[in-house]
Structure 1
Amino acid sequence: MGGRLVQRSRPLLRHWDGTVWNAVPVPAGADVMNLMAIEATSADDVWVTGFSDTDQPRALHYDGTAWTPAAVPFTGVNGELYDIAAYAPDDVWAVGRTLLDDKDWGHSLVMHYDGTSWRQLAAPAGAGQLVSVAKKGGGIVAVGQDADRTESITLKGTAAGLSMRALPSADGVPPYVDAVDVTPGGTVTVAGMTGATDTAPPGPLVLTGTL
């Protein structure tokens, strides 16, 4: 009787050389299971972020020659990085969630890289999981949920500090947000899905405004 095949998830990196996609080996010892986002400021400054199979945040950097893992110190027992945004080699942001204990739904994890090391920024206590981030005014706007998962939020700020704001709801039902972007003029656009009500099913959501 044959044994059951168990498959483990593995990180995937591919590079397009103008003709074909080529496999890129993940550096040994990187301890990465899932890569969630990628950002580059140049051909020799590329970051990818994600998490390990033990739910620890991970970041890899490409310097034009090789990929290397970077330490991502954070507060919490578990954590993941879901999205990344970069202004320059010494100004890179990543967001996701951190779990402070085994009963936590998730609190905001906001990391900033200054060209030397990653550090965690203090987020408002009520801010929860963040799923997308965009550059704005020398800082960021990120979107996600509050820590109690009762409303969708934006988190805005710079390395000096972050502030939280709830997104508008329809009929008292909060939307589900998946992505955020900012125009050069500063207009913020959030995309996702409306919450279901007694009279209407979920539907597509686009919100625009200024923060």
Structure 2
Amino acid sequence: MRIEQRPTNRLRAALYGAAALLLALLAGLTAAAQGHAAAQWQAVPPPAPAGLSAYVPFDATSAVARSTVQTSTTCLPCEYEHTLWTRQAGAWRSLPLPPAGASTDVLTGTAPNDVWAFGRGERGDFGQYHWDGSRWTDRTLPDFEVLAARAVSRTDVWAVGNYRESGGDVPGAVAHWNGSAWTLTKLGAPDAWTNIKAVHVVSAHDVWVVGSGGGRLYAAHYDGASWQEVALPRLSGLSATANAVTVRDGEVWIGGTDRNIYTDSGTPRAFVLRGNGTDWQTTYVPVPAPTGDASEDRMSVQALAVHDGTVWAGLYADRTKDRGLARWNGSAWETAAAPGATPGSEVTALYPTADGTLWANGLHYPHAYLKGYAASLAPSA
């Protein structure tokens, strides 16, 4: 009998061990899923009732931000009043505006004493200014309109947009600050108005910029020595613009808006390209509960970022149909509500920080009041 029981006992022990291992694995997966699900967006308390029309984080408790209030009752043109802030150790401090009536359309920086502001002045001229903690210094490149910027360090700042040539041409432009001076490079066809609207810096030898020119998507890559234009596919519409770019594990993701401008039913659609710089795949973010009305169903990708290994897209859509965010699940886009407190909130910017946190900035509905918000999403445990 003992000889017959030994295999049975061994088999039973093996089965018990396998079952225990399976239960442990399931428990671990459940805990991980619960930990991921438990991660919730945390709102940043704004410094003023106007909210945060821009928020650029440096780390968990410091940032540069802007509040915006519309001061005109009509928009012929619209008039706004801007207030700048720095967040230091979680507390807000007001920041003087740059001189000469300069606007602060684009903000970036690395610390409360290393802030850059870009915009158009009261007389229509463009300006770039740097704040060192005590005063603003004019670092303007004339005729350079900055549409996006990214400060990697105090000696490594990238700004992109367009350059107004004296002859009327408007090529795309990229400027790099090395700590003492700007170096400006013009990009795009000389006879096409090119707007570069986003920049992503992987390293000093790997920088991507995207936008549009001549009604088509535009992209260029910097390898540390020179810029090379990257061919992108023509999408289903006849007018497309790229608003965002990010890189995950060497794969480039480009997002924006695609629309056929020659048809009345040409609904602007939110697209994302992903590829290796040569071969590209195109996906579209689905519109929640579409109506078939182009003015109601319009949607675009405004920001892209990587969080917990997943690509996230910040969205603009029309009114309460806006879901605000989308996540790539490996085969398709899944939309989610924006961190904003009201239906219709949009996400205009996404910023991952070194600690693994994802920050979102956007506007509440109605957009006319510019009541912006900022929120953070911690990395999963």
* TM-score of the pair, normalised by structure 1: 0.77
Does residue 110 in structure 1 map to residue 272 in structure 2?
A: yes
Cα distance between partner residues in 1 of 2:192 and 2:245? 19
How well do the aligned residues superpose, as a CA RMSD in angstroms?
Answer: 3.4
**Does the aligned pair in 1 maintain the 2:211–2:218 contact within 8 Å?**
yes
| Among candidates 323, 335, 360, match of residue 190 of structure 1 | 360
CA gap of 1:138–1:43, structure 2 versus 1, over 3 A, is: same
In structure 1, stretches of 5+ residues that fail to align are: none
Distance 1:203-1:15 versus aligned 2 partners, 3 A rule: closer
Within-5 A mapping of 1:1-211: 7-26=168-187, 33-52=194-213, 54-73=214-233, 74-88=235-249, 90-100=250-260, 102-103=263-264, 104-126=266-288, 128-146=299-317, 150-157=321-328, 160-167=331-338, 173-182=343-352, 187-196=357-366, 201-209=369-377
Q: 1:17 to 1:206 in 2, by over 3 A?
A: closer
Find the aligned partners of 1:115 and 1:202 in 2 and give their Cα distance. Answer: 37
Q: 2:330 and 2:276 mapped to 1: Cα distance?
A: 10
Give 1:176 shift: 3.6
Tell me, in whole angstroms, the C-alpha distance in 2 between the residues paired with 1:166 and 1:100.
Answer: 27
Report the Cα distance in structure 2 between the residues aligned to 1:182 and 1:45, rounded to whole angstroms: 18
Matches of 1:6 and 1:22 in 2, distance apart?
Answer: 21
Deviations 1:48-80 (A, max 9, x none): 10001x321110111222211111113322111
1 or 2, which has the higher strand percentage? 1
Alpha carbons 2:320, 2:344 under 8 Å: kept: no
After superposition, the Cα gap between the structure-2 partners of 1:35 and 1:8, relative to the gap in structure 1 and judged at 3 Å, is: same
Partner residue of 2:111? none
Count matched residues.
202
Structure (1 or 2) with the larger CA radius of gyration = 2
- Cα distance in 2 for residues equivalent to 1:174 and 1:123: 17
Please state which structure has a larger fraction of its residues in helix: 2
User: TM (normalized to structure 2)?
Assistant: 0.46
Q: Report SS of the residue matched to 1:191.
A: strand
Q: Which has the higher contact order (CA 8 A, sep 6+)?
A: 2
Q: What amino acid does structure 2 have at the position aligned with 1:112?
A: R
Give the distance between the partners of 2:284 and 2:362, measured in 1 at CA.
26
The amino acid across from 1:85 in the alignment is T
CA contact (8 A) 1:145 1:153 kept: yes
Q: 1:93 to 1:11 in 2, by over 3 A?
A: same
Q: Secondary structure at the match of 1:72?
A: coil
Comparing 73-82 and 23-32, the one that deviates more:
23-32
Bigger shift: 8-17 or 60-69? 8-17
